[in-house]
Copies of this chain bind each other. A is one copy, B any other.
């Protein structure tokens, strides 16, 4: 037995995944652990790295499946557009699930980011974006109710606040997106059907209208591999 179980495991697992057709199930964790001569904990640790890369997908109760390559959407960040619009440009089917629209009171953080008083009424819109049946992004928008009252929502609202505002002709100007990487918290992990701590690309952004007022504050979480964001940077100050 090697002195570096983890490295050897990664190699063995990579080979196994490689020779397994997309959609097929891998052996169960106890079986695999026995086959590969490691404990289940170590096996799971190695499997997590492959799940992060999007090569496998684990589902409690049913098994671990090999995932086929998916088309990634590559988009520049210079122009703000909804994921729906972006997908349409690429001819990719996406769907929305877990849509939740609530009228709530602004907490500390929300109030600060929207320039509102603590406890001011805001509309909270949350949704999960899926392609190919898999969750790939979790989006949470928060707006002052005077920008978008609950009553202004169309019956068939599919979730994109941006598209709604644009369709209404609101005088929007820019969005400022802060970019970071985080581990999934318990609630986001559940919505995205991934594990707590899994790697996510995270945007936190504010949407401004022409007068400089913040009309929307949003948190976006992306599972790596499905969306490629890029930005073209000018050289020199």
The chain A residues found within 8 Å of chain B, CB to CB, are: 7, 41, 45, 48-49, 52, 77-81, 85, 166, 172-183, 186, 196-197, 199-202, 205, 207, 222, 224, 228-237
- New contact pairs (11) apart from A79-B233, A180-B229, A205-B233, CB-CB < 8 Å: A49-B196, A52-B197, A77-B77, A80-B236, A176-B232, A176-B233, A177-B230, A177-B233, A180-B201, A181-B199, A183-B199
Closest to A178 in B: B230
Copies of the polypeptide in the assembly:
2
Closest to A177 in B: B231
A49 touching B197 by the CB < 8 A rule? yes
Q: Contacts A180-B201, A201-B180 hold; do A80 and B49 have CB atoms under 8 A apart? A: no
Closest to A202 in B: B181
A235 touching B80 by the CB < 8 A rule? yes
Chain B residues in 8 Å Cβ range of A182: 52, 181, 199, 224
Give the distance in Å from the alpha carbon of A181 to the alpha carbon of B137 in the complex: 13
Q: Which of A41, A85, A197 has the most CB of B within 10 A?
A: A197
Closest to A231 in B: B77
Give the distance in Å from the alpha carbon of A174 to the alpha carbon of B233 in the complex: 5
Chain B residues in 8 Å Cβ range of A229: 178-180
Q: How far is the CB of A167 from chain B (nearest CB, A)?
A: 12
B178 touching A232 by the CB < 8 A rule? no
Q: Which of A7, A80, A196, A199 has the most CB of B within 10 A?
A: A199
Closest to A10 in B: B186
A77 touching B233 by the CB < 8 A rule? yes
A236 touching B201 by the CB < 8 A rule? no
Could you list some 11 contacts between A and B, CB below 8 A? A78-B234, A79-B234, A79-B235, A79-B236, A80-B234, A85-B237, A179-B230, A179-B231, A180-B201, A180-B224, A181-B222
Closest to A186 in B: B7
Chain B residues in 8 Å Cβ range of A224: 180-182
Give the distance in Å from the alpha carbon of A48 to the alpha carbon of B49 in the complex: 16
Closest to A201 in B: B181
Chain B residues in 8 Å Cβ range of A207: 235
